[in-house]
Amino acid sequence: MVKRLLVPIDGSDPADAALEFALEEYPDADITLLSVIDPTDVGYGSIEAAPSTFEHLQENAKERTQNVLDEASDRAADHGVDVTTETVIGMPSRAIVEWAENNDMDGIVIGSHGRQGVTRVLLGSVAESVVRRSPVPVTVVR
């Protein structure tokens, strides 16, 4: 029985589908929505950026992430489900697996992909990496 469920959220259609699946299939679970701010995204980790520019980029990333989490929380509330939200900075697949390990999750529900285009091809699929490395069962939703 799944009591504690982790749902990574990034604002993509597959992540939204994963959230819908989790809300419908596990309405009684304690659901945590996790958003990962990837420091390798363009500009975020730029060494050349002035400190004020870096802080601005960091604030923008946090604001976008909070908006995604707020929208997902509202969707959960529409289903009558209260969720917990968390944000971490790190490489997405590693951060997701570490969160599941460190917080005694019973399972992960993840969208099939979030990134698009060349970046996704070069970096590989976050969902695939999570499936390979996760210590708990993973459901991949298309």
Mind listing the pLDDT tens digit of every residue in the chain (142 residues)? 889 999 999 999 999 999 999 999 999 999 999 999 988 774 544 555 556 676 778 788 889 999 999 999 999 999 999 999 999 999 999 999 999 999 999 999 999 875 555 545 443 489 989 999 999 999 999 8
pLDDT at 69: 98
Domain coordinates in residue numbering, the chain? 34-90, 93-100+111-142
Instruction: Quote the tokens at residue 25.
Output: 């299939």
The 8-class DSSP code of residue 58 comes to H
Return d(Cα 116, Cα 104) in angstroms, integer: 31
The contacts of residue 9 (CB under 8 Å, 6+ apart) are: 15, 19, 33, 34, 35, 68, 69, 72
pLDDT at 48: 54
Lay out the sheet containing 138-141: strands in order across.
83-89, 30-37, 4-8, 107-111, 138-141
pLDDT at 114: 55
pTM over 0.75: yes
